[in-house]
């Protein structure tokens, strides 16, 4: 047996039957480090995430994230679909915030088209309403799954209970619970159905009582606080160095929220506060998400008032060369267009029918160039870099997904802590692997 000094410590090369010599030599080695794979299939990794942990006892000495298990090639697929069809792909990336994926992509396309100012006000109001509803549903999942991983199963059950109400509203307004493809270049696919204001108002009033229950259950709970306080600590300097955004950044006290700093979709006209905390830990991120749901309810109330004043207003740009599918009217069976809508299209003129056919099958052309559009998703800055070569399909689309960027904090939040605290740190990051891998 030979012993050599290496950068990572002593290395033992064992040959033959000299195990007694090995055990004698190891008596002086005090650390017992082991490598543990957590995932990629694990109930505490928020999706198909692999964590490679090096442990000394129960202390984490090194933590690395292994990603790519949920790669679906969405960005490449966009290059083979029309600009409008692209919304059906991007909505599937971060599957907890599909409306935000669609909005970021569509804002980029509208920049290239130069029609940002022509998007109807009602379309922007609907976008804001649905984004804030989506923010609530996403934060509910973050809190619910985080509670489940800590053993607080009541938090999990009530969190998903409220999320079901959000998904019911999405289905009522867009026709689908997830993967909506509702936000389209130039506006939205169709107007909100009759009764939307009443149903959303009922949801808001109910959520005001339910969010109070969350606060009573968790905010001052000594066990809950004991697991979250000073766990997953990362200060402002670390966040800025890694490019982290969202609740992680705002938990350091820095009020960076694109809805305020770089407004879009008319957010500058809404009254709400940017929620911050000053602990830079997992507890602060939990409190931020809980408080942000209150602010989302405020914004939704303001959006509903505007919707009432915009009854009958258009929800898509007037340019029929872009507005596809314009004024979608669902048939009585809930599938496809109604016969009245088809008769209207086919009865206008042969030229109009040909144009409609080309618009659906081929798509509209977008001027050559590139644009970047960024919005504030539930996890931070979600940006879409959209490139056109002047054709009917994107030349390249790349997303800056906050989950991918924020996941860099895994090691710095976990190393030096206990293995049980890794779960808390990951939960506070709230990564969605569909957005990480795309």
CA–CA gap between residue 397 and residue 372 (Å, rounded): 10
pLDDT at 15 over 60: no
pLDDT at 18 over 70: no
Q: Which residues pair with 386 in a beta bridge?
A: 371, 397
DSSP letter, residue 343: H
**246 in helix, strand or coil?**
coil
Top-ranked range on mean pLDDT: pick from 43-52, 129-138, 181-190, 305-314: 129-138
Tell me, what's the pLDDT at 320? 77
Minimum mean pLDDT among 22-26, 92-96, 148-152: which range?
A: 22-26
User: In angstroms, how far is CA 198 from the centroid of its own chain?
Assistant: 27
- Terminal CA-CA length for the chain: 49
CA–CA gap between residue 156 and residue 149 (Å, rounded): 9
Average pLDDT, integer, range 310-335: 70
Nearest residue to 163 via CA among 107, 214, 116: 214
pLDDT at 337 over 70: no
Q: Which residues contact 350 (CB under 8 A, 6 or more apart)?
A: none
Nearest residue to 427 via CA among 132, 222, 157, 152: 152
Tell me, what's the pLDDT at 19? 59
Give the Cβ contact number of residue 8 at 10 Å: 7
Tell me, what's the pLDDT at 23? 63
Q: What percent of the chain has pLDDT over 90?
A: 37
Tell me, what's the pLDDT at 351? 73
The domain 74-324+363-437 having CATH identifier 1.10.645.10: the answer here is yes
pLDDT bracket for residue 67 (50, 70, 90): confident
Q: Which residues pair with 11 in a beta bridge?
A: 4
Helix (H) or strand (E) segment spanning residue 107: helix 98-113
pLDDT at 182 over 80: yes
pLDDT bracket for residue 59 (50, 70, 90): confident
Residue listed under structure tokens 């995932």: 39
Q: How many helices and strands, by DSSP H and E, does the chain display?
A: 18, 10
CA–CA gap between residue 224 and residue 229 (Å, rounded): 9
CA–CA gap between residue 4 and residue 38 (Å, rounded): 31
Q: Which residues contact 175 (CB under 8 A, 6 or more apart)?
A: 182, 330, 334
pLDDT at 78 over 70: yes
Q: Which residues contact 32 (CB under 8 A, 6 or more apart)?
A: 56, 57
Cis upstream peptide for 384 (omega within 30°): no
How confident is the model over 231-289, as pLDDT tens digits?
889 899 989 999 999 899 999 999 999 999 999 999 999 999 999 999 988 899 998 99
395 within 8 A of 202, measured Cβ to Cβ: no
pLDDT bracket for residue 204 (50, 70, 90): very high
Tell me, what's the pLDDT at 331? 56
Cα separations in angstroms, 42 against 37, 45, 191: 10, 6, 41
Say how many residues make up the chain: 438
Minimum mean pLDDT among 8-17, 55-64, 228-237: which range?
A: 8-17
Write the DSSP string, 346-371. HHH-HHHHHHHHHHHHT-----SEEE
Give the Cβ contact number of residue 150 at 10 Å: 19
**Domain residue ranges in the chain:** 2-66, 74-324+363-437
Minimum mean pLDDT among 159-163, 214-218, 313-317, 351-355: which range?
A: 351-355
Q: What percent of the chain has pLDDT over 70?
A: 86
Cα-based angle 76, 119, 273 (whole degrees, multiple of 5) = 90
pLDDT at 3 over 60: no
Classify burial at 230, counting beta carbons within 10 Å of its beta carbon; exposed 0-12, middle 13-18, buried 19 or more: middle
Cα-based angle 326, 135, 127 (whole degrees, multiple of 5) = 20
Residue listed under structure tokens 């408080």: 291
Cα-based angle 206, 275, 269 (whole degrees, multiple of 5) = 80
Cα separations in angstroms, 221 against 47, 114, 154, 212, 225: 27, 52, 13, 14, 6
Top-ranked range on mean pLDDT: pick from 50-54, 170-174, 344-348: 170-174
Give the Cβ contact number of residue 306 at 10 Å: 18
Average pLDDT, integer, range 349-353: 72
CA–CA gap between residue 235 and residue 56 (Å, rounded): 25
Tell me, what's the pLDDT at 9? 60
């Amino acid at each position: 047996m030979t012993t050599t000094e290496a950068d990572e410590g002593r290395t033992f090369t064992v040959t033959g039957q000299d195990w007694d010599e090995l055990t004698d030599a190891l008596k002086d080695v005090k650390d017992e480090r082991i490598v543990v794979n957590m995932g990629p299939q694990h109930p505490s990794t928020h999706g198909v995430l692999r964590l490679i942990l090096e442990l000394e006892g129960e202390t984490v000495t090194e933590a690395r994230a292994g990603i790519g298990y949920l790669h679906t090639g969405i960005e490449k697929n966009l290059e083979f679909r029309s600009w409008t069809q692209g919304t059906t792909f991007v909505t599937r990336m971060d599957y907890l915030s599909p409306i935000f994926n669609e909005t970021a992509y569509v804002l980029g396309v509208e920049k290239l088209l130069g029609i940002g100012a022509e998007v109807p006000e009602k379309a922007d109001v609907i976008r804001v309403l649905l984004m804030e509803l989506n923010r609530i549903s996403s934060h509910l999942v973050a809190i619910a799954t985080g509670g489940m991983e800590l053993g607080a199963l009541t938090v999990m059950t009530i969190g998903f209970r409220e999320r079901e109400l959000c998904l019911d509203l999405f289905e009522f307004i867009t026709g689908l619970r997830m993967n909506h493809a509702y936000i389209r270049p130039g506006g939205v696919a169709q107007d909100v159905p009759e009764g939307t204001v009443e149903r959303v108002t009922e949801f808001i009033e109910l959520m005001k009582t339910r969010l109070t229950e969350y606060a009573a259950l968790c905010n001052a709970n000594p066990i809950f606080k004991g697991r979250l306080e000073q766990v997953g600590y990362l200060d402002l300097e670390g966040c800025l160095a890694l490019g982290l955004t969202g609740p992680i950044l705002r938990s350091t006290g820095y009020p960076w929220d694109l809805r305020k700093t770089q407004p879009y979709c008319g957010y500058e006209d809404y009254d709400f506060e940017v929620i911050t905390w000053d602990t830079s830990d997992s507890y602060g991120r939990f409190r931020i998400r809980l408080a942000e749901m209150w602010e989302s309810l405020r914004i939704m109330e303001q959006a509903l008032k505007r919707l009432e004043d915009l009854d009958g207003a258009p929800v898509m740009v007037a340019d029929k060369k872009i507005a596809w599918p314009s004024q979608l009217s669902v048939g009585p069976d809930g599938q496809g267009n109604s016969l009245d809508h088809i008769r209207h299209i086919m009865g206008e003129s042969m030229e109009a029918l040909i144009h409609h056919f080309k618009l659906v099958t081929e798509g509209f052309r977008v001027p050559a160039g590139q644009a970047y559009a960024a919005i504030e998703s539930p996890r931070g800055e979600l940006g879409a870099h959209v490139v056109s070569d002047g054709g009917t399909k994107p030349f390249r689309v790349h997303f800056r997904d906050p989950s991918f960027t924020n996941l860099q904090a895994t090691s710095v939040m976990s190393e030096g802590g206990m293995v049980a605290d890794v779960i808390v740190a990951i939960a506070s990051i709230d990564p969605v692997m569909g957005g990480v891998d795309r």
